[in-house]
Structure 1
Amino acid sequence: MNVIYPLAVPKGRRLCCEVCEAPAERVCAACTVTYYCGVVHQKADWHSVHEKICQLLIPLRTSMPFYNSEEERQHGLQQLQQRQKHLIEFCYMVAQKYLFEGKYEDAVPAALHSLRFRMAMHGLSSVELVPAYLLLAEASLGLGQIVQAEEYLSQAQWTVLKSTDCNNATYSLLHRNLGLLYMAKGNYEEARYHLANDVSEIWHKYLNDHYQVLSQARIQQLDLLGKPFVNDTGLDEAQEAEAIQILTSILNFRESTPDKSPQKTAFVLKTLTMLYYQMMNSSKAQEYAMRALTLAKDQQLTVQEQNSIQELLSLISAEEDRPIS
């Protein structure tokens, strides 16, 4: 680590620690644009990620140079934006790696960097902040810091609620972390609810992606050869059995909870439909598709949701009616 020295802070200027945002007393001697409350946090940041990004921070945290033309200025701004994007992704990747290795303390500074770069680029209320909040929540849970984890998850939940373009992967991570939080707090009913959301999202994404590929291949093969395409889940028998067990358990849990959510129940029914369809068990696939469609109509779910279930049902019926060659 580079030599560190006390700050002579200019009058009226407040410098904050990169890790905890307390008043800073030290600066990194290598980049001179990163500040710390003391040697402990400087060492923590250095070993986590600062050593890898030290020099990249200089152009982001210093005044832009004078440009001779608007074209040059725009080019300079684009370069800064590309650097920010790189640092967002790089710090996120580093923090993720530490979490996988169980190094929760090392993950925190890298995740904080990713969060602050996201704030600078996307604003304080963007859904782009959520992945970094979730990393910080997971690291806090790993460190046993329940209150801190709850604060990060509250920020993530609030941001997701205000957003209209949050993807399934982010929703899944949010539910997983909320499940882990409630487990740590001993609220196992809430933990089951959120972990069920996470697992069903994962299975739905896998099966839906696989289903789309198979459907296209099946249509093309029917056109070319005039014979049915053999469906396949891409899983072995043990994995298929595990998928059935997990999704059926989630469905039972959804249907037994007092606060029923028809949209989420229909979502699990659709996932089971796709699973059985790809396993070439048309009768089971049709059973779950019919249950999903009945629920969607009874509960007046959106026309789009009803149509997607109807399309699945039509495909299953077509497979049943087609003669075996």
Structure 2
Amino acid sequence: MAGQPRCELCGARAAPLRCPGCRLTYYCDVSHQKTDWVSIHSQICHLLSPVLRPQRCFHSEKDRKDGKEQLLRKQESLIAVALCRAQGFLWAGQPLEAIPAALQALRSSSRLLGPASLRLLPIYLLLAEASTGAGRPRQAAKYLSQAQWIVLQSPDCSAALQSKLHRGLGLFSIAEGNLEQALYHLANDVYLATAEFGLNSVEVSGGYFHMANIFFHQNKMDAANSLYTEVSSLWHAWLLSSLHGHQRALQARAEASPFSEEEEGSEDGTTEAQRERGARMLGAVLELREQGPLQHPGETAQILHSLAIIHYLGQDLAKSIHRAGNSCIHAVLDFGESWDGGGDGGGCCRVRLPLALHCRANIAKINPKNSTRTHLPPSPIFPLPAGIQAKGEEPVTMD
């Protein structure tokens, strides 16, 4: 029968089980129903009825317009929840659990935007990544082919989206063991990301990172180390800039009238996805550096400082304190001769950066209300020159 319901998970026509909550989704067996429930359905069951059921009739043009806008917001909300769940499972190393949520995002987006919309491209790439991680290369290839078709059908496709496509193709080639093809796609990823965002953007770091991994496994250590260093430097510079924005926002909030309305948005310009991506990438580089035969205390200090900033901006103060403290130790190991203010002061600045962040995170943890006041230790993004301390501040010493 043409109207026979299909399984929400696998698309099978024989789907006798129906969700008792929304009464809109069907499953071929209990295992698929449980899988879908864990992945996404438990989060959107209450959202499906207003979106999928026929809309009521409206008696005026204004009511129709308002109803259409409300429906659009509900559809967008459903897609956002599904994408967030899918990405979360991928970050947690659970690609199999990510697939149902990503499929829900794909179905909802296709209904809303059409099957050829460029906004479907990131969803297809997410599905390809999850399928590859779950050991389903045939499905991954299918999703990547669909993503390529969308790009070919869209001559106005941005360099940013094309960059993501090449990265997805590169990761799939790595999983297939075709490293030369992977390097080709990742090189295109870097080129397109640079064209869209600039040479010093963290959006370029993903391509560098995966290329470095390939060179590392090929034992081409000079190339790998160079790219890992570039990844660390890009993230460190961007995170310092984000921290700068965060400090300005805190300063403005402290000086603002208590009766003024707060503006919505992120204080530091970072998103959870960016912080998570940075933490995963930098954590992998840090692990390689710590396990390698050659020690790089300067770069290790930089990575630890970057991770401390990520945790600080994400309000995980305990981890921020731990990372910043370790960063101080590695910075002293690498620049110890400049600690007393001698030389050009570069080492002192490298130590002051994580130390100031360590102090600020400690104060925020002990007394969050005081963390926005102006008498806190100097901002970690404005290290003082060697041998000079702020007015009223004791010289920094180490036990």
Report the equivalent of 2:158.
167
CA–CA separation in structure 2 for the residues paired with 1:138 and 1:240: 22
CA–CA separation in structure 1 for the residues paired with 2:233 and 2:176: 27
Q: Report the Cα offset of residue 104 of structure 1.
A: 0.5
Question: Which sections of structure 2, spanning at least 5 residues, go unmatched?
Answer: 202-225, 235-399
Q: Report the Cα offset of residue 209 of structure 1.
A: 7.3
CA–CA separation in structure 1 for the residues paired with 2:137 and 2:192: 25
Residue deviations 1:16-72, cap 9 Å, x none? 111111122111101111111111111111101111111110011111112222321
1:144 is aligned with what amino acid? G
CA–CA separation in structure 2 for the residues paired with 1:199 and 1:175: 9
Report the equivalent of 1:184.
175
2:230 is aligned with what amino acid? E
Q: Report the Cα offset of residue 97 of structure 1.
A: 1.3
Report the equivalent of 1:111.
102
1:13 is aligned with what amino acid? G
Question: Which sections of structure 1, spanning at least 5 residues, go unmatched?
Answer: 1-10, 211-237, 247-325
**1:69 equivalenced with 2:60 (yes/no):** yes
Choose the corresponding residue for 1:35, options 22, 26, 38. 26
Report the equivalent of 1:311.
none
Residue deviations 1:216-269, cap 9 Å, x none? xxxxxxxxxxxxxxxxxxxxxx989526999xxxxxxxxxxxxxxxxxxxxxxx
User: Secondary structure in 1 aligned to 2:50?
Assistant: coil
| 1:208-223 aligned within 5 A | none
CA–CA separation in structure 1 for the residues paired with 2:164 and 2:117: 17
1:199 is aligned with what amino acid? V
CA–CA separation in structure 1 for the residues paired with 2:179 and 2:188: 14
CA–CA separation in structure 2 for the residues paired with 1:208 and 1:168: 14
Q: Please, what TM-score do these two structures have when normalized by structure 1?
A: 0.59
Report the equivalent of 1:151.
142
Q: 1:63 to 1:241 in 2, by over 3 A?
A: closer
Identity between Structure 1 and Structure 2 (%): 44
User: Secondary structure in 2 aligned to 1:20?
Assistant: coil
CA–CA separation in structure 2 for the residues paired with 1:84 and 1:44: 22
1:131 is aligned with what amino acid? P
CA–CA separation in structure 2 for the residues paired with 1:49 and 1:100: 16
Residue deviations 1:101-154, cap 9 Å, x none? 111011001100111111011111111111111111000000111111000000
CA–CA separation in structure 1 for the residues paired with 2:4 and 2:57: 26
Q: Report the Cα offset of residue 87 of structure 1.
A: 1.4
**1:123 equivalenced with 2:118 (yes/no):** no
Choose the corresponding residue for 1:18, options 8, 16, 23. 8
Report the equivalent of 2:130.
139
Q: 1:124 to 1:240 in 2, by over 3 A?
A: closer
CA–CA separation in structure 2 for the residues paired with 1:125 and 1:207: 28
| 1:175-324 aligned within 5 A | 175-202=166-193, 207=198, 242=230
CA–CA separation in structure 1 for the residues paired with 2:99 and 2:231: 34
User: Secondary structure in 1 aligned to 2:11?
Assistant: coil
CA–CA separation in structure 2 for the residues paired with 1:149 and 1:190: 16
Deviates more, 1:16-25 or 1:197-206: 197-206
CA–CA separation in structure 2 for the residues paired with 1:240 and 1:20: 40
| 1:64-103 aligned within 5 A | 64-103=55-94
**1:50 equivalenced with 2:41 (yes/no):** yes
CA–CA separation in structure 2 for the residues paired with 1:239 and 1:134: 24
Q: Report the Cα offset of residue 75 of structure 1.
A: 1.4
Q: 1:245 to 1:187 in 2, by over 3 A?
A: farther
User: Secondary structure in 1 aligned to 2:37?
Assistant: helix
Report the equivalent of 1:221.
none
User: Secondary structure in 2 aligned to 1:60?
Assistant: helix
CA–CA separation in structure 1 for the residues paired with 2:88 and 2:197: 23
1:128 is aligned with what amino acid? R
Q: Please, what TM-score do these two structures have when normalized by structure 2?
A: 0.49
Report the equivalent of 1:314.
none
CA–CA separation in structure 1 for the residues paired with 2:141 and 2:228: 35
CA–CA separation in structure 2 for the residues paired with 1:87 and 1:163: 26
Deviates more, 1:135-144 or 1:172-181: 172-181
CA–CA separation in structure 2 for the residues paired with 1:244 and 1:17: 45
Residue deviations 1:168-209, cap 9 Å, x none? 332222112211222222222111101222234445555457
RMSD: 2.6
User: Secondary structure in 2 aligned to 1:58?
Assistant: helix
